[in-house]
Homo-oligomer: A and B are copies of this chain.
Amino acid sequence: MLNAAERKEKIIEILKEKKAVKILSLSKMLKVTRETIRKDLYELEKEGLIKKIHGGAVLDLPNQESDYERRKTKNLEAKRAIAKEAAKHVEDGDIIYLDYGTTTYLLAEELLKLKNITVVTNTIPIVNLLLRSDSVNLVILGGMVRKNEDSLYGPFASNNIKNIYVDIGFFGCGGIDSFSGITNHHIGETEISKEMMSHCQNKIILADHSKFGTTAFNQTATFSDVDIIITDKDIDEEIKSEILKHNVEVVIAKGASGGEENDD
């Protein structure tokens, strides 16, 4: 009927629809014995396409993770605590901007529960997350796609920013220091962030403890440009006093612990 290669293709096809298949049901579907299927699965596993489980198999396609997706899991607890704290500042009906970064993604997860908010963003994973929500209006600034970072930047976005104003802007960052202020790595993204800053009524910075005392390449804002900084641990006194000098509120989100790496 089918040769080994066809059978394996069929197995992959079946696995793509169902999450998992039993060897026995495969053997019935493809009309070969248990042992033949087992051999097929063994080979498919060696090829890295599936993963064998007791009595069957599940798909294990090589899902190319972007750098962005990898970063999302770093300092997760701290970021989630910050996101939960940030979410408290959003009310039903608000129009908000979610900047680049992984912490803003976690904030988007929290916002799923709110009703009738409008989210402006240029981060593709945030778009995909909010796409299936009935209660969130979504607006995308547009622009050139930055591969591996899943973000948009450039003149398309700049043009659109000129015409809009939002209630709150939530900004991630690459570094915060008393000397350099709030900095980020990518010049194109930084440009968009800067422009959005002047179109947000309130500006809130989300920065886990690993960001303090470090400086990235491009300045997004000085302390006097922002209203609130949310972090997860008490921060260095020198930086803190510098921040407070500029009338910025510093909020420590509760419920995080551990983690040291600076990733953004």
Contact = CB atoms under 8 A, between A and B. Distances in A.
A64 B139 contact: no
A159 interface: yes
Contact of A141 (B59, B128, B134, B142): B142
Of listed A19, A138, A152, residue having the most chain B CB within 10 A: A19
A188 interface: no
Number of copies: 2
Contacts of A127: 124, 145
A22 B144 contact: no
A140 interface: yes
A36 B68 CA distance: 37
Given A53-B55, A56-B53, A145 B150 contact: no
Contacts of A155: 163
7 contacts: A66-B132, A124-B128, A130-B145, A139-B142, A139-B156, A140-B156, A159-B163
